[in-house]
Amino acid sequence: MVGAGVRVDVSEPPSWIYKQVIDPMVGDKIVEKDFINSIALNVYHDGKEGLAQHFDDAVRFRQPIYSLRIFSDSRLSFGSQFYGFCNGAFCIPMPRGCITILEEESFAANGIKHCVRPCDMTGKSAALIMRQMHHKVLNEAKQYDEKVDFPSWFSTLSIDENSISYSDQKRIEAEKILRGLK
């Protein structure tokens, strides 16, 4: 899979995330300097939606993975069988402001899926997910963006009625890249 589904055409994180969150974590020896190269913000607008069970897989991400809970308290549930149901093996509380760490090679990181169910939230909530993407994955994603995504999109601006659609161009170019990686 090219770039393992990673996007590189996004804006840099705002500087306040480094100043207010990551730099203090480095100073308190929670995370190594320059470890974090990927930041995602999961926003739960009204506390009625969640995030289905998943792994933060080792193909894309190096562990540990750090999460900062903002806006309100929540729980992180593990081993849920069906999304939206109040089942599961166990959950951990995540009070507003806490940092949760999925440690390298831990059962919580690799042995069981985790999720945030609607019943795990108390209201509007968000999580700042900080992790390291493997450099090979980032390089593949950059190559895909430079050689497929942007050129394909730009070429669809053609007025020629025989031009190839953006989605077809993406598929064709991705197939070429995949053949070249083998």
pLDDT of residue 151: 63
Element (H, E) at 143: helix 135-144
Under 8 Å between Cβ of 140 and 1: no
pLDDT band at 82 (very low <50, low <70, confident <90, very high): low
Between 11 and 43, name the one with better pLDDT: 43
**Assessment of whether the complete model's pTM goes beyond 0.85:** no
Tokens of 74: 């929540």
Q: Tens of pLDDT along 52-80? A: 788 887 778 888 999 999 988 998 888 88
Residue 1 CB partners (closer than 8 Å, separation 6+): none
Residue-wise pLDDT for 6-24, tens only, equals 777 777 888 999 999 999 9
